[in-house]
């Protein structure tokens, strides 16, 4: 439409609305007050859009004819891309539409804050549609508006995060235990009177007594965040808190409540210091390494603690500290000291000494450290935006006059591997269901192994050990199939992401295969408990018929331990299903963190092929503006740098 045509359409719509009001008035009908806000209406419409996308999945398209198997993955990928964007927009709307970053920056500038580079970034991100960088930009603006120094505690479920913070802050307000925290990171700040405040996506904020905190942040009180909590702040009169210092208790990484782990990953770039807890009882894991890596990639220093150090003898403790430190150095290239801590009375001096030696001195420098932290984050965002702009211009120079078919091929391959997640997840979950019903087959295999053992005269292994070994092997074989499927998906995803990054000239932002494989933490094992199998060999039966001997032995095992084995496999299937969901959520999150940026770049490059010389000149001016705004990047020099 021309501007004049668009104006006519707008005028007719206004006339139509005005006429509807007059019709109501002519009938004596008073228009009711608005029942829903604009944000609610937008979110409802997004819900319908999400349903419309879901209806395009292969299994739902069969009414139009069978979808060829060769197109299933690509079609699933298309749906996942659209639903991912809808979810991000829904999240953005739920959080208040970003609260107008431009106006917030203007207020900061009037207050004397140097926000020149941030305003440049805000303009380029908005004008060039770089929406993937808006969360990072919003986090920076939020940090500029407040001077507090944020110390966040990260770690796997049951690593002792809440217990550590309770001890450090001399309180017992944070709920402790192995129950995953599902809502959002809990921010703890200083105040004269204790209280809690919660913000929600669908209702007004609420103030509550601290005794009610578990209602908002535990799996029992708020399963899967059904209360739609978006923010929690705990105010405490703790003598170990200061007005400009905040501690943050994050949901456990590796949590079976995967939404909690996702919230932690989203929050991570906002803190100023990350304290990573390594559980001395379970040693260093992929989640721990990926957290440390993510902190340094976000230009945030990390402190590493070996929690529950009281479970180790002094000699074992020193060996564990060296082990953790050596692995961080070999896997990430970082030389980080590891400090042992404990909350047990006999060993609590370890934690107190660490706090007094490493954390308290930061209080006097908190404003300086907060400023340096913000500057590092601004520098990291500038580098990311500059890379996106530069890649777009470089792609333009390489592909001038081409059809863009190579771009489409790269995008199709990325879409296909993304579409495999849905089928792979369904396949793995089916296998966990099968494991629940495998008790009978496992006992049959145990009976066969026992008979074979008895027929070998030299065999001396006790029946209980044979049975236990077979049961564990049957479960492990099925679990191995799940692991193999997941590993193959992770490897293929990493390969396609690297190819895409190379094609988009974003080689420096390509993932390593180990980064995606790191999402697959060690799979749970079957725990059948004490096996009281008392089956005995019947020599005559063994001589007459091995088949009859196996049948008879199976019946004996069924009578002796059948219920126990059935319950063990049913429980293992349930535990494994939760692990599969968590592993897929983590793998998908790591994949999408790269793929979303690449998809946005596809859109920009494709639109550029039909762009004008004026548009290209504008992009070049943006690149020059970013290059001329590196005045604060000296703070980055002191940070260790590791590649993705």
Q: What is the pLDDT of residue 393?
A: 74
First to last CA, the chain: 45
> Residue 154's closest CA among 243, 225, 236, 255?
255
Provide the pLDDT for residue 79: 92
Do 515 and 548 touch, CB atoms closer than 8 A?
Answer: no
| 535-584: pLDDT as tens digits | 665 555 555 566 777 788 888 888 888 889 899 999 999 888 888 887 88
CB 151 within 8 A of CB 359: yes
613 burial type by CB count under 10 A (0-12 exposed, 13-18 middle, 19+ buried) = exposed
Residue 472: both structure tokens together? 């564990």
DSSP 156: B
What's the confidence (pLDDT) of residue 638? 41
Report d(CA 357, CA 342) in Å as an integer. Answer: 16
Query: Which residues are paired to 195 by β-bridges?
Result: 235
- For position 271, what pLDDT does the model report? 81
Task: Answer yes or no: are the C-beta atoms of 352 and 342 closer than 8 Å.
Answer: no
Question: What is the three-class DSSP state of 57?
Answer: coil
Residue 607, pLDDT score: 58
pLDDT value at position 634?
39
Predicted pLDDT at 541: 53
Distance of CA 107 to the CA centre of its chain: 33
CB 421 within 8 A of CB 429: no
φ, ψ for residue 154, nearest 5 deg: -120, 155
Q: Produce one character per residue of 429-452: b if its CB has 16 or more CB atoms within 10 Å, e if not.
A: bebbeebbebbeebbbbbbbbbbe
pTM of the full structure: 0.59
In angstroms, rounded to a whole number, what is the distance separating the alpha carbons of residues 448 and 452? Answer: 6
pLDDT of 48 = 94
- Give me the residues of the chain with pLDDT under 50, please: 98, 182, 255-261, 400-403, 609-610, 631-644
Q: Rounded to whole angstroms, what are the CA distances from 552 to 64, 442, 536?
A: 54, 15, 10
Burial of 257 (0-12, 13-18, 19+ CB in 10 A): buried
The pLDDT value given to residue 46: 92
Q: With CA atoms as reference, report the closest residue to 283 among 338, 323, 254, 234.
A: 323
- Burial (0-12, 13-18, 19+ Cβ within 10 Å), 85: middle
Determine the pLDDT at residue 269: 67
- Give the sheet arrangement for strand 273-279, strand by strand: 206-208, 195-200, 229-236, 186-190, 245-249, 149-155, 273-279, 302-307, 338-340
Instruction: Kindly calculate the radius of gyration of the chain based on its CA atoms and give it in whole angstroms.
Output: 29
Alpha helices in 95-115 (DSSP H): 101-110
Per-position b or e across 298-313, b if 16+ CB within 10 A of its CB: bbbbbbbbbbbbbebe
Cα(189)–Cα(244) distance, rounded to whole angstroms? 8
Here the tokens at position 594 are 């790269």
Sign, CA dihedral 125-131-135-136, equals negative
Q: Tell me which residue of 500, 488, 509, 490 sits closest to 415, measured CA to CA.
A: 500
| Whole-Å CA distances, 590 to 287, 515, 644 | 12, 8, 11
SS (H, E, C) 220-271: CCCHHHCCCEEEEEEEECCCCCCCCEEEEECCCECCCCHHHHHHHHHHHHHC
Query: Can you tell me the distance from the alpha carbon of 153 to that of 236, in angstroms, rounded to the nearest whole number?
Result: 17
The pair of structure tokens assigned to 280 is 């001395």
């Amino acid at each position: 439409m021309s501007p004049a045509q668009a104006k006519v359409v707008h005028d007719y719509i206004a006339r139509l609305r005005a006429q509807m009001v007059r019709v109501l008035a002519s009938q004596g009908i008073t228009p009711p007050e608005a029942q829903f806000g604009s944000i609610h209406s937008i979110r409802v419409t997004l819900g319908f859009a999400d349903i419309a996308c879901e209806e395009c999945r292969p299994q739902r398209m069969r009414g139009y004819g069978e979808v060829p198997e060769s197109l299933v993955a690509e079609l699933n990928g298309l749906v996942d891309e659209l639903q991912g964007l809808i979810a991000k927009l829904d999240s953005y709307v739920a959080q208040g539409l970003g609260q107008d970053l431009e106006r917030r920056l203007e207020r900061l500038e009037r207050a004397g804050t140097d926000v020149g580079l941030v305003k440049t970034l805000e303009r380029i991100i908005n004008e060039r549609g770089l929406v993937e960088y808006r969360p990072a930009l919003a986090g920076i603006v939020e940090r500029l508006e407040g001077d507090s120094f944020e110390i966040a505690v990260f770690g796997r479920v049951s690593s002792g995060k809440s217990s550590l913070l309770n001890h450090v802050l001399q309180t017992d307000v944070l709920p402790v235990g192995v129950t995953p925290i599902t809502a959002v990171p809990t921010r703890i700040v200083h105040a004269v009177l204790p209280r809690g405040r919660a913000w929600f996506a669908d209702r007004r904020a609420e103030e509550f007594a601290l005794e009610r905190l578990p209602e908002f942040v535990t799996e029992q009180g708020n399963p899967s965040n059904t209360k739609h909590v978006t923010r929690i702040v705990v105010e405490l009169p703790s003598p170990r808190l200061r007005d400009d210092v905040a501690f943050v208790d994050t949901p456990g990484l590796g949590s079976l409540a995967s939404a909690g782990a996702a919230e932690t990953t989203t929050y991570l770039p906002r803190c100023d210091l990350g304290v990573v807890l390594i559980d001395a009882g379970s040693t260093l894991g992929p989640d721990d390494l990926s957290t440390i890596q993510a902190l340094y990639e976000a230009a945030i220093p990390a402190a590493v603690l070996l929690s529950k150090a009281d479970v180790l003898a002094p000699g074992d403790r020193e060996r564990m500290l060296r082990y953790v430190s050596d692995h961080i150095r070999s896997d990430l290239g970082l030389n980080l000291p590891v400090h042992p801590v404990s909350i047990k009375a006999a060993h609590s001096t370890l934690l107190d000494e660490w706090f007094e030696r490493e954390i308290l001195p930061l209080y006097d420098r908190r404003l300086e450290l907060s400023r340096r932290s913000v500057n590092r984050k601004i520098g990291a965002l500038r580098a990311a935006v500059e890379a996106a702009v530069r890649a777009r211009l470089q792609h333009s120079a390489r592909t001038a006059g081409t059809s863009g078919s190579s771009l489409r091929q790269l995008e199709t391959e990325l879409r296909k591997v993304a579409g495999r997640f849905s089928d792979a997840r369904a396949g793995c979950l089916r296998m966990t269901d099968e494991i629940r019903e495998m008790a009978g087959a496992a006992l049959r295999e145990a009976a066969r192994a026992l008979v074979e053992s008895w027929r070998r005269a030299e065999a001396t292994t006790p029946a209980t050990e044979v049975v236990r070994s077979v049961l564990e092997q049957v479960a492990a074989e099925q679990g191995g199939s799940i692991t193999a499927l997941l590993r193959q998906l992770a490897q293929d995803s990493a390969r396609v992401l690297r190819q895409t990054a190379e094609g988009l000239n974003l080689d420096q932002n390509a993932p390593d295969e180990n980064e995606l494989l790191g999402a697959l933490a060690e799979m749970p094992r079957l725990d059948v408990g004490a096996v009281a199998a008392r089956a005995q060999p019947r020599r005559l039966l063994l001589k007459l018929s091995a088949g009859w001997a196996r049948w008879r032995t199976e019946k004996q095992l069924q009578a002796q331990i059948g219920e126990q084995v059935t319950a063990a496999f049913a429980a293992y299937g349930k535990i494994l299903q939760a692990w599969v969901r968590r592993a897929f959520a983590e793998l998908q999150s790591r994949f999408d963190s790269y793929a979303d940026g690449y998809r946005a770049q596809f859109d920009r490059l494709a639109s550029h092929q039909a762009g004008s010389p004026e548009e290209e000149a504008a992009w070049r001016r943006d690149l020059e503006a970013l290059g001329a705004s590196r005045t604060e990047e000296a703070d980055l020099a002191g940070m260790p740098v590791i590649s993705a």
